Amino acid sequence: MPLPSFQLWLALLLLAAACASAVHPRKLARLGGLKRLAASESSSDLPPEYEIHYYRQTLDHFNYKPESYATFQQRYILNYKCWGGANTSSPIFVYTDHFNYKPESYSTFEQRYVINSKYWGGANASAPILVYFGAEAPLDGDLAVIGFLSDNAIRFNALLLYIEHRYYGKSIPFGSREEALKNGSTLGYFNSAQAIADYAEIIIHVKKSFQAENSPVIVIGGSYGGMLASWFRLKYPHIALGALASSAPVLYFDDITPQDGYYSIVTKDFRTIQKSWAVIDEIASKPNGLSILSKKFRTCKPLTDSDELKNYLDSMYSSAAQYNKPPTYPVNIICGGIDSSTNSENDPLSKIVAGLFAYTGNRSCYINAPTNVSETSVGWRWQTCSEMVIPIGRGNDTMFPPKPFDLQSYIQDCKDLYGVPPRPNWVTTYYGGHSIKLILQRFGSNIIFSNGLKDPYSSGGVLENLSDTITAVHTVNGSHCLDILVASKTTDPEWLVAQREVEIKIIDGWINEYYDDLRNQ
């Protein structure tokens, strides 16, 4: 195989030869020989339109441990003599375990996966395999709520496979959670590229052990897991025939989606809340204010500042909006509480309190009850501080106080926490996202991006069909990941049943087409 650097070199020379005659003939004569240019002549004999640049290149793109931030000078050459002249600004910031061959990279860990072969049609029938991609949580919680696989196992005669994401649940490298999460040196391997590489290895392993090499694989995920599913189809087309990416905000990176996308949907989902923030601040600023608020909201411990209360309410509204699912519709419960609050002559705080109590149910106390920190909040904090930089901010037109996303302070906070800065542009560099329709209309296939438009994350989702085979299936009243949750014959609204039916038909189409191809090969 020719050396990669030489290939690049050739490509550049060929490009030049195709549109101009000024290329140094001596260089062209060498092309047929496929011989490597001697280092000494490679740069000094270049025609003048070739500009040599050096780019400070990161050594390791697939790790976030401190050493991976080492850089080196990488040479690149430009010839824009024949270029029509375009208006591009391209601050390339390019970075260097599945993705390394140094000895440490061969260390292994036990990764958990779950198989259900009860309904499988078998290898002889090349019956399909439905694979659920675990996301930012232990797998245990997902098995009970993810219905798309189990609900459709019989229909597809499918083998069901659920895989846990590294660093969560029982799939922890470095021997223990404590060790794995200790610092950047061990956390560095905790990223999406490593995670989907894990999935690729496990799917191949499972296919082999079931002798199911010809069985088509459909990968399914929700939210971050949905992003992983869509990216997997693009990166590993030889392993997955198609992907169902439910509520996957693949466009909530860089500046593709307006920062306030998330909160403007939360705002739309609600109607009295805006006024309450100022009232909280006003009361909090009084000498006895915090204790008045603590009493009014029946907090479990006295509030130490008003942010504690405001942050709680913020996440309550956001979570209700995001998970606004039938049959209970949490947004309606909060709004019902707010609207039915009678003890007030337009007192917004009493209304908010009523909303909180309605949502939370009768408790002895509210707001700052003792909780255990979840694996998700610990793990996802790292993920968002390294790779998953999702710039959610708020302008002045939501029901929340403005709070623009401030990348510089975000970077600083992450450095303070982990000693390494996040890489805000890596997701779009590695997976894409900018001009997604333009890019994917002729590349890639067999991806369903499903969304519910009441879900704040749908603001960063793919909401239009990108091609005949990369389709957007959304519902006006749906919430986060609704379509892949366990179906209910009694309470699912018609539009949800219809959404799932559309998805199943599309997947059926992929599989049938694959079987035709398989027979005809």
User: What are the catalytic residues?
Assistant: 223, 455, 480
Q: Select from 45, 464, 501, 516 the one that contacts ligand NAG (CB under 6 A).
A: 464
Residue from 50, 232, 212, 210 nearest 125 by CA: 212
* Minimum distance, C-beta of residue 242 to ligand NAG, in the bound complex (Å): 13
* Minimum distance, C-beta of residue 200 to ligand NAG, in the bound complex (Å): 26
Span of 38-46, 96-104, 294-302, 466-474 interacting with ligand NAG by CB under 6 A: 466-474
Q: What is the CB-side half-sphere exposure of residue 378 using CA atoms within 13 A? A: 15
How far from chain centre, in Å, is Cα 236? Answer: 17
- Neighbouring residues of 483: CB distance < 8 A, sequence distance ≥ 6: 148, 246, 450, 452, 473, 475, 496, 499, 500, 503
- In 10 A of CB 264, how many CB atoms? 19
Between the CA of residue 477 and those of 18, 173, 262, 325, what are the distances in Å?
55, 40, 16, 9
Greatest Cα-to-Cα distance within the chain, rounded to the nearest angstrom: 91
Side chain identity at residue 73, one-letter code: Q
What is the C-alpha R_g of the chain?
Answer: 27
258 interacts with ligand NAG by CB under 6 A = no
Q: Select from 143, 202, 234, 472 the one that contacts ligand NAG (CB under 6 A).
A: 472
Burial of 416 (0-12, 13-18, 19+ CB in 10 A): exposed
Residue count, binding to ligand NAG (CB under 6 A): 24
Site residues for ligand NAG, 398-427, by CB under 6 A, read 419
| β-strand partners of 357 | none
* Minimum distance, C-beta of residue 184 to ligand NAG, in the bound complex (Å): 4
Side chain identity at residue 369, one-letter code: A
* Minimum distance, C-beta of residue 265 to ligand NAG, in the bound complex (Å): 14
**d(C-alpha 111, C-alpha 199), whole Å:** 10
Q: Select from 124, 343, 435, 490 the one that contacts ligand NAG (CB under 6 A).
A: 124
Compose the 137-176 pattern: x for residues touching ligand NAG by CB under 6 A, - for all others.
----------------------------------------
- Neighbouring residues of 500: CB distance < 8 A, sequence distance ≥ 6: 148, 483, 487
465 interacts with ligand NAG by CB under 6 A = yes
Tokens of 399: 């029901």
Q: Select from 128, 134, 173, 184 the one that contacts ligand NAG (CB under 6 A).
A: 184
185 interacts with ligand NAG by CB under 6 A = yes
Site residues for ligand NAG, 370-389, by CB under 6 A, read 370-372
* Minimum distance, C-beta of residue 476 to ligand NAG, in the bound complex (Å): 4
Q: Select from 476, 490, 520, 521 the one that contacts ligand NAG (CB under 6 A).
A: 476
Q: Select from 47, 66, 326, 336 the one that contacts ligand NAG (CB under 6 A).
A: 66
329 interacts with ligand NAG by CB under 6 A = no
Strand ranges, E, within 212-314: 217-222, 242-246
- Measured from the CB atom, the residue of 9 and 418 that comes closer to ligand NAG is 418
How far from chain centre, in Å, is Cα 278? Answer: 34
* Minimum distance, C-beta of residue 245 to ligand NAG, in the bound complex (Å): 14
Strands 159-163 and 113-116: antiparallel
* Minimum distance, C-beta of residue 430 to ligand NAG, in the bound complex (Å): 23
- In 10 A of CB 159, how many CB atoms? 27
| Dihedral sign from CA coordinates of 382, 383, 389, 393 | negative
- Measured from the CB atom, the residue of 110 and 494 that comes closer to ligand NAG is 494
CB 450 within 8 A of CB 483: yes
- Measured from the CB atom, the residue of 197 and 229 that comes closer to ligand NAG is 229
Between the CA of residue 362 and those of 310, 323, 357, 358, what are the distances in Å?
20, 21, 7, 8
451 interacts with ligand NAG by CB under 6 A = no
* Minimum distance, C-beta of residue 80 to ligand NAG, in the bound complex (Å): 13
- Measured from the CB atom, the residue of 124 and 408 that comes closer to ligand NAG is 124
Alpha helices (H) in 147-191, listed in sequence order: 148-156, 177-180, 184-187
Q: Select from 140, 495, 504, 515 the one that contacts ligand NAG (CB under 6 A).
A: 495
Site residues for ligand NAG, 334-373, by CB under 6 A, read 361-362, 370-372
40 interacts with ligand NAG by CB under 6 A = no
* Minimum distance, C-beta of residue 459 to ligand NAG, in the bound complex (Å): 15
Residue from 202, 136, 138, 206 nearest 170 by CA: 138
Q: Select from 502, 508, 513, 515 the one that contacts ligand NAG (CB under 6 A).
A: 502
- Measured from the CB atom, the residue of 150 and 264 that comes closer to ligand NAG is 264
Q: What letter does residue 71 receive in the DSSP assignment? A: E
Binding residues (CB under 6 A) for ligand NAG: these are 66, 87, 122, 124, 182-185, 361-362, 370-372, 396, 419, 464-465, 471-473, 476-477, 495, 502
